[in-house]
């Protein structure tokens, strides 16, 4: 288990190993766009990974390619549907305003 802290609200969620950040958020009733339902195709689940980089799966080729096509991407950008909690470290993410990255 790892603790996922969601900014800007500061809400914390206990997340089991192997769970995607998207699934963790939706399971905790945190609203996040996910238009392609986790296929790494829409980019609407774009988030910033603020802390705990080592506690999250590496960026896949598919995710990287999608991120490359999104406006406003930075070094902390991830797709919530592709980033899996490893359970080794607590993680803090920042949700972006709805409509960004679309």
Taking alpha carbons only, the member of 7, 6, 28, 14 closest to residue 87 is: 14
Q: Is 54 in the site for ligand FES (CB under 6 A)?
A: no
Least CB distance from residue 83 to ligand FES, whole Å? 9
Count of residues of this chain found to bind ligand FES when the rule CB under 6 A is applied: 14
Q: Is 35 in the site for ligand FES (CB under 6 A)?
A: yes
Rounded Cα gap, residues 84 and 69, in angstroms:
21
Binding residue for ligand FES (CB under 6 A) from 4, 21, 23, 34? 34
Which residues have C-beta within 8 Å of that of residue 44, sequence separation ≥ 6? 33, 34, 35, 36, 101, 102
Nearer to ligand FES, 28 or 36 (CB): 36
Binding site for ligand FES (CB under 6 A): 34-36, 38-45, 66, 79, 81
């Amino acid at each position: 288990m790892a603790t996922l802290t969601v900014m800007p609200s500061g809400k914390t969620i206990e997340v089991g190993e192997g769970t995607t950040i998207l699934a963790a958020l939706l399971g905790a009733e945190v609203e996040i766009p996910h238009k392609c339902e986790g296929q790494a195709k829409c980019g609407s689940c774009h988030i910033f990974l603020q802390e705990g980089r080592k506690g999250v799966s590496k960026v896949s080729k598919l995710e990287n390619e999608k991120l490359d096509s999104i406006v406003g991407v930075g070094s902390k950008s991830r797709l919530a549907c592709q980033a899996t909690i490893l359970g080794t470290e607590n993680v803090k993410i920042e949700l972006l305003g709805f409509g960004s990255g679309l």
